Amino acid sequence: SRLVDVLRSDARVLCLLNRKGRSGLSSCAACDELATCERCGASVVQGDDTTLVCRRCGTHRPQVCLRCGGTRMKNLRVGVRRAREELEALALRPVAELTAEHEAGAAGPGAEVVVGTEAALHHLDAVDVVAFLDLDHELLAPRYRAAEEALGLVARAARLVGGVPGAGRVLIQTRLPDHEVVRAALLADPSRVAEAETARRELLGFPPATAMALVSGAAAPAFVEALGAPAGLEVLGPADGRWMLRAASHAQLCDALASVPRPAGRLRVEVDPLRM
């Protein structure tokens, strides 16, 4: 494949995968049962010592299928650590790992192939090739700004390879070749994303079609109770200890927020939150 050819060339390559660890999702190789936590039901990840670890409640258990007792697991969503091992086998040369947990320069000045999360885009100065190993993970993320953020990553990758005259390339692995982000990157036309996002956010009632705020913290219940249900303001929640407030304009939203005295205790109000 094109990625293998790039890895085995003398190019400086950055492979991006926004999943830390060895595996984000596994299943039993014998019966296909998803590997989940027996305590809370969340998916588990493979630890460094071959145990399975729940990131929600911290439970550790042996790498054994809860359904059939099988001890072999297959990766459905590999993480950076596992990807590094597989890329080394393909590249036939060392591959460094770089995530937000590593300090700047941790990949080493002589590292020719690096695999990491989006933090690597900020740590490295210039490379010949940036390869997105799973852009669908960004395109399908459960965030209302997922498409916008994915295009931002691709644009930053293009800047990173832009300093290599005539040689810089951005490779994208995706099952959604017609997605507006992929088409916008291919045609250098970000308006394709803007047009699709405008229609989508108007339909769903997300900013900038509406004004929105997330209210959280220990004092949030008292604040929301004092706020009540003023005209023109929609109050939704709580969900995960947060309330969502939505209004047709920022003037309506801010007037409603300002009308309530701040209660004692920690209170956080995010207007038009970046992540939700």
Name the token pair of 66: 């809860």
Name the token pair of 152: 């931002």
Name the token pair of 20: 């830390």
Q: Cβ contacts of residue 229 below 8 Å, gap of 6+?
A: 235
Name the token pair of 51: 């145990």
Q: Cβ contacts of residue 4 below 8 Å, gap of 6+?
A: 90
Q: According to the model, what pLDDT value does residue 106 have?
A: 56
Flag residues of the chain having pLDDT under 50.
none
Q: According to the model, what pLDDT value does residue 166 have?
A: 59
Dihedral sign for Cα 8, 118, 55, 97, please. positive
SS3 186: helix
Question: Could you say which DSSP state residue 262 is in?
Answer: P
Alpha-carbon span 155 to 141, nearest angstrom: 18
Q: Write down how long the chain is.
A: 276
DSSP assignment of 34-76 equals B-B-TTT--BEEE-TTS-EEETTT--EE-S--TTT----EEEE
List beta partners, residue 121: none
Alpha-carbon span 35 to 66, nearest angstrom: 8
List beta partners, residue 236: 244
pTM beyond 0.95: no
Q: According to the model, what pLDDT value does residue 27 have?
A: 84
Q: According to the model, what pLDDT value does residue 24 have?
A: 64
Which amino acid is it at 253?
Answer: L
List beta partners, residue 57: none
If we measure between CA atoms, which residue out of 147, 119, 114, 148 comes closest to residue 131?
114
Alpha-carbon span 218 to 213, nearest angstrom: 17
Alpha-carbon span 223 to 60, nearest angstrom: 39
Q: According to the model, what pLDDT value does residue 45 have?
A: 77
